[in-house]
Structure 1
Amino acid sequence: MKTVIRVIISALFFQLLLFTNPVFSQQWTAAPEIIGEGSDDDTVIGRVFHDANKNGLLDQGEKGVEGVLVSNGVDWVSTDDEGGYEINVKDDMNLAIVQPSGWRVPTDERMVPQFFYIYKEGGTGYDMRFGGLPDTGPAPAEVNFPLTRENTADDSFTCAVLGDSQAYSNEQVSWLRDGVIADVVDAGLTPEDCMIYLGDVVGDDLGLLDRILNISSVTGLPQWMVIGNHDIDFDARTNEDKSDSWRRIYGPNYYAFEKGEVLFVALDNVYYPCGEESVAAGRMNCAEDRGPSYNGRLTEEQFAWLEGLVDRTPEDRLIVLMHHIPFVSFVDATSGQHQTDELHRIHDIVEGRKALSLSGHTHELENLSPGEIFEGWTEQTGIGPLPFRHIIAGAASGAWYRGDFNVDGVPMALQRLGAPMGYLNLDFEGPDYKETYIGTGLSRDRGQWIGVNTPGFRHWFSTIMDWVGQDRSERNEVPPYSINDLPDTKILTPEDFEEGVWLTANVWAGSAETRVVAELPDGTELELTRTQEGEGEGVRTGAEYADPFVVARQLSVARFAFESQLGEERAQGFELFQGSRFGPAPPQPQGSIADRNMHLWRADLPELPNGVHSIRITSTDRHGRTFTDTITLEVMDMLPPKYWRHELWE
């Protein structure tokens, strides 16, 4: 089934699938109704109404919807018993409603929810590479927002959450189509579910955004997007302008919506260009002599907007804060730029509430539990141990589409902590949720890699990493080892046990609550220990903390060497990022090696007798769900010859 869908999506039948997909029979295409110009520009009025005939227009007899939240990006009002509202006009605003539980806003043909009117009289005011915002003219006299009832009153639903699809080219958009999007299509979700992109939807080229929206609309899911640092206008002169092209192509850079018993809050914590205020907070990348840069922070307007929203939200709601730059991160624990300034203020706003943080940015998966803390968080963000769960949701592009191709023709791109490219599946039941990470092109029942860390592996790994650390202009262009030189880590000798052998389990969405146990051949249970406790320690790196399963694939990528006789010049080796060239060259390590981990478990393997041994490793997540894999080991007095024995044939 999955293979068939992948072929259909990637072939000329894409449009046929788009229009014959049964979920589109439930699609409601409309937009807010804009009426006239205001007699003054101080306020705008309108109604939120039940669009009974689904034409997007407030027709006679159609009733207003009471209690719907309306915002201009700072202030909040609620609709009256006839659905009416009046709110101040800001010079540059996203006039938007919060989709209320039990109702749905319409979408456009790209499945982009239509709950907003963007106003910027005069527009961006200067030329931008991707167009910015045109002059919207004076504020309208009236903006009416249509709603329709959900098809189900059930508070159970699923959201497919995608971190960093980050496509820099149409080639990479195609990999997104044939990778994660194909998996989401195969998941069988309905328009009553949702799809969330956590920023860096594109890689600096906003001209690709429409194609991505069109492709992922085949899922039939409303597409809720967060802006990332690669989705902005890099030629913007102020932070207020940096999202203008995004707002024209997609919609607001921050907003909120409800589903069931959940309030989803999309924040914009990419501040660009940052300057003196950020430098004063220690963000030296924002210094004037460094050139334009970004920083992770909210504006004061957003703080006021968020506080007003939370104050108006029932206390029994789960609040899901969606943002691109993590609030905190294990891999970037000591970085100011890649975490969020003044995080204590955000935590204070939701204090006492049931909350969840979702982010992307770092191209790896972190499931950070309440009570955890790593060295650097307090210094960089002003917080102590986490008050609620923070999840960095991995990346739909994996490690930036690096690595060799998988069986579906998509780069494996194993991520910085070793998880595969993929998406986070969130199943909501009322205000509760269960998180599952779905690896691209893999069984939904697979959730971990298991491996063996041996002395031979550690020597191989350390030698290559020493070469990686050398000056490129001085080192040999050929790495010291390739994948062909890695000893078979599943053949063990007494010398290996003497130097130390560890069983490892890289549990992709593992958290502090995860438990991992190995069952040895004699029935003994061996508990594996997490390599990072999350109790304030720093990041541990090196061969002892690397995932041997993953780095075996990351440290020797054959794709660097791909060449053709008749192909065009740019097809030699490969291109990533902003057209950066990689190869042709001997097989090389990819960037972002999994030499550290916060979801790796390990245990010393006791010496086993000579023979063949199968070991079962089971991880149990915080919801009681299990992943079990079996690894087969051979124990011998000495390693057997690896290659063809020529001497027997001479």
Structure 2
Amino acid sequence: MRPSLLTALLTALLLACVPFAASASCADGVVFLDSNGNGQQDVGEKPLAGIRVSDGEHIVSTGKDGRYRLPASNQPNIFIIKPAGYSALKRGDGLPDIWRPQVGEGDQLCRPFALKLEKNPPSSFQALLLADSQTSTELDVGYFERDIIEPLRGKHQARLGMTLGDITNDDPSLYPALTKAVTSLGVPWLHVPGNHDMDVGASSDADSLVSFHRQLGPDTYAWEEASMVFIGMDDIIAQPGQKPAYVGGLREDQFAFLEAYLPTIPKDKLVVLGFHIPLFDHVYRAEDRARLFKLLEQVPHPLIVSGHTHNQSQVFWGAAQGWNGAKPLHEYNVGAACGAFWSGVKDAQGIPDTTMADGTPNGYGLLNVRPQGQYSVEYRVARAPADQQIALHAPKVLRQGAYPAWGIYANVFMGYEGLPVEFRVDGGEWQPMKQVKQADPRLLVENIADDLASELRGYDRSPEAVPSSHLWRAALPTKLSEGEHAVEVRATLNGVEYRSQASYRLQTARP
């Protein structure tokens, strides 16, 4: 017997008043305003309309009833695009509760998405940028925590953090310990997968991130703040059984997500894309980079942040490289948290030196976001003062009156092509230094010391020095008085002048 119209109306009214229950499928669900922050939709807690939900390919918005329905897909996770003015609750592991598996696993049914209102979200703020913590063992996790995390606890100003891939070194069992470490900083933490986050033994690109998806979330997602949008994306295409085992690029579903999402972002917001493989890496597919450029050329304020290289550099893409935006596209390739894979001689605290092959000490980046798409990026050396931005190498002694063939080298960690770097001797006139594509002599000294040592100086040797993209040189004058001479080097980054000092001695000598 068919129900009467009155019965049907009463049933619909009752259903509308009952909080949405967990279901086995996450492709349809509800988003609600969690007034008390308990993660459950209690009686009286209102549904949220206009919240975007995605599977990393399709994007839908919740209706007035807070409900959404995504089309059927093979995507592994469903996530909400956290809107500005709201905060996400924490999962049991401390990560933001913004994703669900496509289908509830076993008894784990899909819960509704809960958001809390955020009072007076700032339009200017700071985010922490980590690349390549790349831990192989629990010992490495300990290095990471003592070297990077502990000095930041209670002392940083960030309201968001992200790790740009190679979270572990092919060992997903270390994810919980690393998650515990980064979430101890008390800010929402986002992750981008790296090539060493792919499951060993995966048979295809589609199943290469099963462990990552289960423990750290979607490999494509977006997170919105008042003046910034962060888009995290897996840009590694796994090729199991082939050489190379992976290439850099984006999948069709990721391009579909960007094509749908980018045009909806307000033009005055900074749009940050977080990748692992930098766009300049030799394995990056040129056609994918060109396609991405076309999309980003319509974005007034784009920024790329990446990892992978275990060096540090800043690249400004222009017309010569296929970028035709209104201004150069800035890519900040962040120095690795693990430096050179936790290598080198240990210090008094038992932590390896782990200077990277370009002479950059290990550390982390800072992203300073301001309104109207304005921003700046900085670098912090692990366990060092904020003003440690320039490392110098100079000879200890030169012959007085010798031909000035020997120089002082300045490694400006956040340096880039065209940055003015100057030096002076004994408080004299400032003179320009010349940027050189050479290996940092500081690291060459370590290489030679490793070569000459009859026993291992550390568990792993320091890396072989490679030409640095941020090294400057100037010849030291020798026609000065005999004795000690002071050298200063200066460079200005983001409007702040940084200096570093060294000295050398002139000695008289006879043939």
Q: Is TM more than 0.5 here?
A: yes
Give matches, 1:159-558, under 5 Å.
159-185=127-153, 187-189=155-157, 193-273=159-239, 285-286=243-244, 293-329=245-281, 335-336=282-283, 342-353=288-299, 354-371=301-318, 387-430=328-371, 431-452=373-394, 489-494=395-400, 497-498=402-403, 500-512=405-417, 514-521=419-426, 523-531=428-436, 540=437, 545-557=438-450
- Distance (Å, rounded) in 2 between the aligned partners of 1:345 and 1:606: 51
Distance 1:33 1:322, change over 3 A: farther
SS in 2 for 1:357: strand
Q: 1:440, CA displacement in angstroms?
A: 0.9
SS in 1 for 2:96: coil
Distance 1:44 1:602, change over 3 A: same
Of 68, 90, 102, the match for 2:51: 68
Of 497, 502, 505, the match for 1:631: 502
Deviations 1:262-313, CA, capped at 9 Å, x for gaps: 11001001111268xxxxxxxx824xxxxxx111111111111121111221
Deviations 1:522-564, CA, capped at 9 Å, x for gaps: 6222111222xxxxxxxx4xxxx2222333234424998668x
Distance 1:368 1:518, change over 3 A: same
Q: 1:604, CA displacement in angstroms?
A: 2.7
SS in 2 for 1:88: coil
Deviations 1:465-484, CA, capped at 9 Å, x for gaps: xxxxxxxxxxxxxxxxxxxx
- Distance (Å, rounded) in 2 between the aligned partners of 1:86 and 1:151: 29
- Distance (Å, rounded) in 2 between the aligned partners of 1:273 and 1:319: 30
Equivalence for 1:463: none
Deviations 1:575-606, CA, capped at 9 Å, x for gaps: 5xxxxxx5xxxxxx63231x301111122333
Give matches, 1:8-19, under 5 Å.
none
Q: Does the aligned pair in 1 maintain the 2:311–2:335 contact within 8 Å?
A: yes
Q: Does the aligned pair in 2 maintain the 1:178–1:408 contact within 8 Å?
A: no
Q: 1:493, CA displacement in angstroms?
A: 1.2
Give matches, 1:2-81, under 5 Å.
35-37=22-24, 44-81=27-64
- Distance (Å, rounded) in 2 between the aligned partners of 1:444 and 1:147: 35
- Distance (Å, rounded) in 2 between the aligned partners of 1:149 and 1:112: 18
Equivalence for 1:332: none
Q: Does the aligned pair in 2 maintain the 1:369–1:512 contact within 8 Å?
A: no
Deviations 1:442-481, CA, capped at 9 Å, x for gaps: 11111010122xxxxxxxxxxxxxxxxxxxxxxxxxxxxx
Deviations 1:393-417, CA, capped at 9 Å, x for gaps: 0101001111111233211111121
Equivalence for 1:83: 66
Computed over aligned residues only, the root mean square deviation of the Cα atoms, in angstroms, reads 2.8
Q: Does the aligned pair in 1 maintain the 2:335–2:364 contact within 8 Å?
A: yes
Deviations 1:165-204, CA, capped at 9 Å, x for gaps: 00011111110011011232253336xx011100000001
- Distance (Å, rounded) in 2 between the aligned partners of 1:135 and 1:384: 49
- Distance (Å, rounded) in 2 between the aligned partners of 1:525 and 1:223: 44
Q: 1:223, CA displacement in angstroms?
A: 1.4
Deviations 1:354-403, CA, capped at 9 Å, x for gaps: 11111110101111235497xxxx5xxx6689931101101010011111
Distance 1:314 1:223, change over 3 A: same
- Distance (Å, rounded) in 2 between the aligned partners of 1:556 and 1:34: 65
Q: 1:146, CA displacement in angstroms?
A: 0.6
Give matches, 1:105-120, under 5 Å.
105-119=88-102
Deviations 1:325-369, CA, capped at 9 Å, x for gaps: 11115xxxxx225x7752011111111321111111010111123
Residue 601, structure 1, aligned to residue 472, structure 2:
yes
Give matches, 1:556-575, under 5 Å.
556-557=449-450
- Distance (Å, rounded) in 2 between the aligned partners of 1:630 and 1:36: 64
- Distance (Å, rounded) in 1 between the aligned partners of 2:34 and 2:211: 30
| Structure (1/2) with the larger strand percentage | 2
Q: 1:513, CA displacement in angstroms?
A: 5.1
Q: Does the aligned pair in 1 maintain the 2:203–2:240 contact within 8 Å?
A: no
- Distance (Å, rounded) in 2 between the aligned partners of 1:552 and 1:340: 37
> Which residue identity does 1:165 align to in structure 2?
S
Distance 1:616 1:322, change over 3 A: same
Of 466, 491, 499, the match for 1:619: 491
Deviations 1:212-269, CA, capped at 9 Å, x for gaps: 1112222112111110010111211111111111111221122110122111001001
SS in 2 for 1:342: helix
- Distance (Å, rounded) in 2 between the aligned partners of 1:183 and 1:548: 29
Give the fraction of aligned pairs with identical amino acids, expressed as a percent. 26
Q: Give TM-score, length-normalised by structure 2.
A: 0.88
Q: Does the aligned pair in 2 maintain the 1:65–1:82 contact within 8 Å?
A: yes
Q: Does the aligned pair in 2 maintain the 1:490–1:632 contact within 8 Å?
A: yes
Equivalence for 1:157: 125
- Distance (Å, rounded) in 2 between the aligned partners of 1:34 and 1:253: 27
- Distance (Å, rounded) in 2 between the aligned partners of 1:557 and 1:231: 31
